[in-house]
A and B are shown apart, each in its own frame.
Chain A
Amino acid sequence: MTMEGDAPEISQTPPNAAIYFDGTSSRRRAVTLRFADRLEIADHEQTLATWDYTEIRRADGPSGMLRLGCPTASALARLEVRDTALAAELTSRCTRLDENMPGRRGVAVIVGWSVAAAVSIVCVVLFGLPMIADRLAPLVPDAFERRLGEVADGQIKKLFDAKTCDNPAGQKAFVKLVTAIRESAGLDTSVQSGVLSSPIPNAFALPGGRVYLFNGLLAKADNPDEIAGVLAHELGHLKHRDSMRGLIRDGSTSFLIGLLFGDITGSSALIFGSRTLVTSSHSREAETNADGFAIEIMHRLGRPAKPTGELLLRVTGKEGKGLSIISSHPLSEDRLARMSREDRSASKPPLLTPEEWRSLKSICDTKI
């Protein structure tokens, strides 16, 4: 085709020249555009396609090229215009060119909904999950909970490389102590308890009615009342089914936060941080309740509650004031203060004789 064009520097190209792909084959066609009441795409005399100006949409193209499509005519047909004057002419006629592109408004919508989703997730995590956990925990069958306890039991013993201590004299004293507390707590005989040989000064309750005392805590204790308070505290967890509740709540919290806020580099630290904040606030509440329970039991047994607080402080050391929102337990000072405040003097004889107390302290010694 030879004729004098508007763009004399490209002598071979006719005016209104463009490249057209019809979407049914990859054939590259040099076409001319005719601006009638619809856009006519023509190869010589043959009209290949006519597009409504209002149906034409912009498609992604490299810089310096206008690429158009017409979804209603053919999903993948493309018209490519490199000439800036022709591109300007086209864009002025096609009024709804950028309708499919997510512009500023589209981004605002995404941001708005994301914030809404985040707020609702935070609300579910903070208020919904604890409520669901409170309702669900009592519905979990005992058999299932005991099974969970068995699993955790095996893992913990492996993890701490701990064995159950049970030399006869010590075990006898331990059983006497536990039975006294259990009976006044109103728990049945399904509660299993034991002392594990580990230097870590700690005690914990597992789902399904298991309470364990690490030997390390016994070593730090000065009298039976201190240990009795700790055991009563753990039995409080059992009574309130805290571990089952915690499992449901913390498990689903981690799951929700982790799945939704994935994929930003370093997000694992964020997930960990927010999870710690949420779960520790719940856990502090449970600990405070268990402390209350322990104090009540000690009152019923006619023994002072304060020694337990002293033992805790001895184990953790002074924790200082300031931020405690990331700790799983209330500060030891506060716990001691509460136990002292609600303390009553002993009204009944000690729970163990000095003889029994010595046996309990040496429960992990193999030879007697």
Chain B
Amino acid sequence: MNQMSWPPQVPPGPPPMPVPPPMPLAFSGSRGEFFDLAKRGSALEFVTLGFYRFWLLTDIRRHLWSNTLVDGDATEYTGRGKELLIGFLVALAILVPIYLGYFLIGLEAERYQAFASIPLIVFFYLFGQFAIYRARRYRLTRTVWRGVRFWMTGSGWAYALQASLWGLAMIFTLGLILPWRTAALERYKMRHSHFGDLQGRFEGRGWEFFKRGWWLWLLTPIALYISPIAPFVYAGYKAIEWRWWLSGIRFGDVRLESSLPKSALIGLYWKVIGWMALLGLVFAIYLGLCALLVASMSGEGVTAFFKTPDLMRSIPLLVLFGLGYLVMALAMNVVMRVYLTRDLWVIVLGSVNIIGIEAAANVVARGDLANALGEGFADGLDVGGF
């Protein structure tokens, strides 16, 4: 199921077949290649203390984009790691004084009441939403298909304001309003998205989303107590969201449709959990072996060593622990990227059908590039979106 990839067009055979290829979307990348990419990227991330993340993210996107064939022609990602780095540095330059100001304002507020500065988090929520919008704009303007780029207008702050008001409504309705929030925000994003001179729009209705997923809302409190069902609930939610989102996307007369089953992603999440458990086990065994090794070298005898608090104070042991921890964290990164980025991409892509692609046969190129400031903020504030 994870290995869905199709040969790129050109059906062999002498009989003249004027029928267009029945597969409007295909993925041609090999899993091994992506695995190598993720492995190498994680190792470099380790060596560069995380700075390589900008280039790794770019490489991952380039791989996924360039192997995604729409109507037989592959898309292309033209963003570069350096742009992300610059975006991050600019965001840093803006965020540092804001953090400082936040600290001072918080101090002033706390003088009147302890913990009064918490409402200022609202401000950061606003900033996070701005980042989500602008990050999407960056990604979209780096997406090229048939020599024409996607582009996006609209105001990140207007979006952030809308998102925050909806967020307030979310609190009052205990999250029940989520489908309408997502629909409204997506309408704003898609209304301002373009492919050349084709304008985008979003036709998904909040009600549709609600009808498909309301039972998940009921299950969520239960899942919080009985954790084994949480992956099922989350995977179900993601599948419903993907299908609903994709089925609502329009560019001019081009329409997308997705037939992603609710159960499509459950396997992925359990595989990730399985790998996590396995890696955790390996790490635990490694810790045990390290402790034994250090204990036997301490010369005090193994049982005596374990009884003293020296166990937690031995420098070689701590260094070994730290190294093991790092390797485990990097391995987990690779697992997450292979399953939750690449495999998810392939599964979701396989469910999509495009109707009316002829409308995109002769689109006039338009639109400009956007800067990576949004991605920088998203990185600095740890928010994500798609």
- Which residues in A have some Cβ–Cβ distance to B below 8 Å? 19, 21-28, 59-65, 67, 76-78, 80, 82, 102, 107, 110-111, 113-115, 117-118, 147-148, 150-151, 154-155, 157-158, 251, 255, 259-267, 269-270, 273, 319-325
Contacts and interface: CB of A to CB of B under 8 A. Distances in A.
A65 B76 CA distance: 13
Nearest to B59: A102
A280 B111 CA distance: 28
Given A26-B361, A60-B62, A147-B107, A118 B147 contact: no
A323 B314 contact: yes
Interface stretch (B66-74, B160-168, B240-248): B66-74
Contacts of B8: 62, 64-65
Given A61-B74, A63-B30, 6 more contacts: A62-B8, A115-B47, A147-B108, A154-B114, A265-B332, A324-B313
Nearest to B62: A60
Interface in B312-337: 313-315, 318, 322, 325-326, 328-330, 332-333, 336
Given A114-B51, A264-B45, A60 B147 contact: no
Contacts, number: 176
Interface residues of B, number: 72
A76 B111 contact: no
A264 B114 contact: no
The 5 A-B residue pairs whose C-beta atoms are closest, nearest first, are A21-B147, A114-B48, A266-B329, A323-B313, A322-B313
B184 to A, nearest CB: 30
B49 A323 contact: no
B369 to A, nearest CB: 9
A302 to B, nearest CB: 38
B28 A76 contact: no
A197 to B, nearest CB: 18
Contact of B28 (A63, A77, A251, A323): A63
Nearest to A28: B146
A298 B1 CA distance: 77
A115 B48 contact: yes
Interface string B11-39: 00000000000000000111001000000
A76 B107 contact: no
B364 interface: yes
Interface string B201-237: 0000000000000000000000000000000000000
Nearest to A327: B313
Contacts of A255: 96, 99
Contact of A62 (B28, B55, B107, B379): B28
Contacts of A62: 8, 28-29, 66-67, 69, 74
Nearest to B333: A265
B52 interface: yes
B159 interface: no
- Max chain B C-beta neighbours (<10 A), residue from A78, A82, A251: A78
A151 B107 contact: yes
Nearest to A113: B51
Given A60-B62, A60-B66, A27 B379 contact: no
Contact of B29 (A26, A63, A114): A63
26 contacts: A21-B147, A22-B147, A24-B147, A26-B147, A26-B148, A26-B360, A26-B363, A27-B361, A59-B76, A59-B78, A60-B76, A60-B77, A65-B74, A76-B144, A76-B148, A77-B147, A78-B144, A115-B48, A147-B108, A151-B114, A157-B114, A259-B380, A260-B50, A262-B382, A320-B310, A323-B315
A264 B53 contact: yes
A102 B96 CA distance: 30
B81 interface: yes
Contact of A23 (B47, B77, B329, B365): B365
Interface string B241-283: 0000000000000000000000000000000000000000000
Contacts of B65: 60
A148 B53 contact: no
B52 A76 contact: no
A151 B103 CA distance: 12
A329 to B, nearest CB: 15
Interface in B136-187: 144-149
Given A110-B51, A118-B49, A25 B76 contact: no
Contact of B196 (A25, A59, A61, A113): A25
A187 to B, nearest CB: 24
A200 to B, nearest CB: 19
B119 to A, nearest CB: 16
B44 interface: yes
A346 to B, nearest CB: 35
B50 A262 contact: yes
A58 B382 CA distance: 34
A23 B74 contact: no
A81 B10 CA distance: 14
B74 A322 contact: no
B62 A320 contact: no
B303 interface: no
Contact of A102 (B55, B113, B318, B328): B55
